[in-house]
Structures are given as C-alpha cells and as structure tokens.
Amino acid sequence: MPLLLLLLLLDSATAAFESPESGESALPPRSGTSCQLLSREVLTGNSTTPAVHRLRLSLPPTARFPRCCDDSSPGMIHVRVKAPDAAGQPLRFNPYSAHLNPDQRSFDLVVKVYPGGPPAHPGVSGYLGELAVGDRVHVPEIRALDWRHESPRAGLVCFGVGVTECVGPAEALLENGGEVRMVTANRNAEDVVLLEELRELLVKYPTRFRVRHCISQTTAAETNLAMVENESMTQGRVDYRVLMEEFGGKWRDGGAAEHFLMVGTAAMEQAVIGMIARARLYDFSKIRGHPLFLLIKGPHGDNSKWVALSPSESDESVEL
Ligand SMILES: Cc1cc2nc3c(=O)[nH]c(=O)nc-3n(C[C@H](O)[C@H](O)[C@H](O)COP(=O)(O)OP(=O)(O)OC[C@H]3O[C@@H](n4cnc5c(N)ncnc54)[C@H](O)[C@@H]3O)c2cc1C
C-alpha cells in the first residue's frame, strides 16, 4: 500500500480520532458541567517555551464516566473544555486528556499554555492558564477511547505535553505484565514534564520499563543530567534511527514491538508512522484495511461518543 494512502488511513486512528457529538458543547454551562479549579501547579518554568500547568478540577457529583472498551478498562479519557464566548471566537472549546484522581471526585489536566487568544485564536489554553483557584470552568463533554491495554510490548512516542496521554497507558500496561519503552521529545531538558511519575514507574518496573528523552535544542553537556536506571537523555530529534534503537530487535520475552502509541500534533503522529515504516518495525506490506499496530484501537474499538459530563435531567444552568 503506498505510504501516503496509508498515512491518510491512519489519521483517524490516533488520539485525534473523531467521535460522534452530543451537542452539549453548544449549550450553556449547568451545574453538572461546571467544575471548580481546586489547584494549579506550574510544571515548567522555562521562558523559551510556553509553560505547562497541572490543573486540578472538581468533578460534579452527577458526573459520569462513559462506558467503553467492552467494560474491560476505563479507556483513554478526554474532556472538552469550553472557554466563554469572545469577540470573533464564539465557540471556544478544545479536548484535553483527563486523569481521574483516586478520590474519584476530582481530575487533573496537564495543559501547555499557549500565548495568544481572541480574536485571532480560540485561546482555550490561555484561558485555562489565567483562571484563579476557586473559579469555575465549563467542561461540557467527556469521551473514552478503547485501546489495547493487554499489549505485551508497546512503544510509546510522546511529544512535549503529549506525555500526559502516555503515562496512564504506560502504568496500566506495566501493571498488566507488559513491557513498555517510551521515547519523549522536547526542545530543552527543562521542558520534560511528569518526570516524577515516569521515575516512579521506572523504579517500580526496573526490568520492563525504559525511557529515552530526546532533546532537540540542548547541548550534549546539558543532557548530562542525573537519570535513574533505565532512563537516558540524548541530544537530537526523534527519527527512525531512534525508534530502531529503542523499539527494534527482540524485547525481553523474545518477541518484537507489537503496538505503538504516538501523541503529539497530527503532523508529529503522522511523522512517527513514517519512521516506524522506515525503521521496519512493522511489515506495512501486510496491512489490509485498518492497521492493528496502533495502541488506540480506533474504528476497531468499543469507543464511547462524546457525552455530556453529567446527564441533563434536573440540572440547572449556572453562571460562570
Ligand atoms: C484528543 C486531544 C487531546 C489533547 N490533550 C491535550 C492535553 O492533555 N494537554 C494539552 O496541553 N493539549 C492537549 N491537546 C491540544 C489542545 O486541544 C489544544 O489544541 C491546545 O491547548 C491549543 O489550544 P488553544 O485554543 O489554546 O490554541 P489556539 O488558540 O488555537 O492557539 C493559540 C496560539 O498557540 C499556538 N499554538 C496552538 N497549538 C500549538 C501547537 N501545538 N504548537 C505550537 N503552537 C501552537 C497558535 O499558533 C496560536 O498562536 C489535545 C488535543 C487533542 C486533539
């Protein structure tokens, strides 16, 4: 199959997978879709790239997590955050990866806060970046995507803040006995976020988890930071050679890399698929119809639709 055709086919199989709409994002906020900002933590302070914030938001008591994945896993959860209408930008909403906290009453978003906003851009991340603790946020919708949580050998490529979408699956795969190898891609060593979470997993699973940080704009000396076992940092961008080095050959159980997750912009995710082909990590000539090597099942999976964060019955509109 020609690579261009394959790349077009794969577009709907990555995190940008299109789900049917509920229509809730067009409606005003109500108590069941209004979440309070409980805390904010700035994860990066590097002035050359936009900062990344961890926001903890309350979950309304009526909130529901949509059914997916044949009830075998909660799925990869995304929420839509809607910023108030602005001149030139009447419908400002974007999806974010959501992480439910153990108390089940709050969830975290890890957001890269881009400068710029209305009227030229929606500026949803900028809106999230400016909220004060205690403010309320409109979170109209939620969805869950099905993925291969039983994968025995998974290679994860996580660009920038995209690592937020990788940590949960990595943890679940390791808990299920799988082997996980992760490549992160950032401009500067200071931009790598969620290091604490990654290192906890590296310590907990010393034989089945490894991480390589690829830093594109840092000198070799600066990449010489303290690493834990099975963690490395190299200078340069992610390319097919990096994927060959990290994901190629036999893995611990003697098998080859079986599934891949790539999280970044659509262009970055497409580029990784090209690298997988060039590194010969998967035999693309065998692909007939939708490929099975992606960790996200896409059209093969039992995905939820976008659903309202809370059912609409007996719910009052609220002012934000
Ligand atoms: C399924 C899914 C899950 C996502 N999960 C997360 C998540 O967990 N955390 C997160 O931070 N983001 C996530 N995103 C991206 C998020 O939805 C927004 O696209 C992002 O926050 C930018 O939106 P904005 O409205 O602030 O930017 P815009 O208003 O569109 O742009 C504001 C400014 O930022 C620039 N800009 C916007 N995006 C980029 C970019 N990628 N690189 C460089 N410059 C840019 C624009 O050019 C503009 O100057 C996810 C996207 C998808 C599809």
Q: What is the ipTM of this complex?
A: 0.97
Residue type, 213: H
> Which pLDDT value is given to residue 5?
53
Distance in angstroms (rounded) separating the CA atoms of residues 34 and 10:
34
Mutate to test the pocket of ligand 1, among 52, 112, 125 (most ligand atoms within 8 A of CB): 125
> Which pLDDT value is given to residue 78?
97
Distance in angstroms (rounded) separating the CA atoms of residues 129 and 51:
9
Nearest ligand 1 atom to the CA of 117 is 29
> Which pLDDT value is given to residue 12?
47
Domains 18-146+303-308 and 153-295 share a fold: no
Mutate to test the pocket of ligand 1, among 121, 131, 197, 261 (most ligand atoms within 8 A of CB): 121
Q: Any known ligand binding at 125?
A: yes
Contacts within 8 Å (CB) and 24+ apart, 289-292: 290/9, 290/13, 291/6, 291/9, 291/10, 291/13
Domain 18-146+303-308 bears CATH identifier 2.40.30.10: yes
Pocket lining: 163 vs ligand 1, CB cutoff 6 Å: no
Which sign does the torsion angle of CA 287, 293, 298, 300 carry?
positive
Q: Any known ligand binding at 164?
A: yes
Pocket lining: 296 vs ligand 1, CB cutoff 6 Å: no
Distance in angstroms (rounded) separating the CA atoms of residues 124 and 122:
6
> Which pLDDT value is given to residue 13?
47
Residue 310 phi, psi dihedral angles, 5° rounding: -130, 150
Q: Any known ligand binding at 110?
A: yes
Distance in angstroms (rounded) separating the CA atoms of residues 122 and 86:
8
Per residue of the chain (320 residues), what is the pLDDT tens digit? Answer: 555 555 555 554 455 567 888 899 999 999 999 999 999 999 986 667 899 999 999 999 999 989 999 988 889 999 999 999 998 898 999 999 999 988 889 999 999 999 999 999 999 999 999 999 999 999 999 999 999 999 999 999 999 999 999 999 999 999 999 999 999 999 998 899 999 999 999 999 999 999 999 999 866 566 666 789 999 999 999 999 999 999 999 999 999 999 999 999 999 999 999 999 999 999 888 776 667 899 999 988 999 999 999 998 656 666 66
The answer, yes or no, to whether the previous bond of 140 is cis (omega within 30 of 0) is no
DSSP β-bridge partners for residue 55: 40, 109
How far lies 175's CA from each of 201, 205, 209, 275, 293, in Å? 10, 9, 11, 28, 21
Residue 89 phi, psi dihedral angles, 5° rounding: -140, 75
DSSP string for 38-50: EEEEE----TTS-
Considering only CA atoms, which residue is closest to atom 19 of ligand 1? Answer: 94
Domain 153-295 bears CATH identifier 3.40.50.1860: no
Residue 151 phi, psi dihedral angles, 5° rounding: -60, 130
Nearest ligand 1 atom to the CA of 95 is 17
Q: Any idea where the domains of the chain sit in the sequence?
A: 18-146+303-308, 153-295
Q: Which residue do the tokens 């834990």 mark?
A: 228
Distance 95 CA to ligand 1 centre (A): 9
Considering only CA atoms, which residue is closest to atom 51 of ligand 1? Answer: 95
Residue type, 306: W
Pocket lining: 86 vs ligand 1, CB cutoff 6 Å: no
Containing 95, the helix (H) or strand (E) segment is: strand 92-100
Q: Any known ligand binding at 112?
A: yes
Distance 306 CA to ligand 1 centre (A): 19
Q: Which residue do the tokens 């790239």 mark?
A: 49
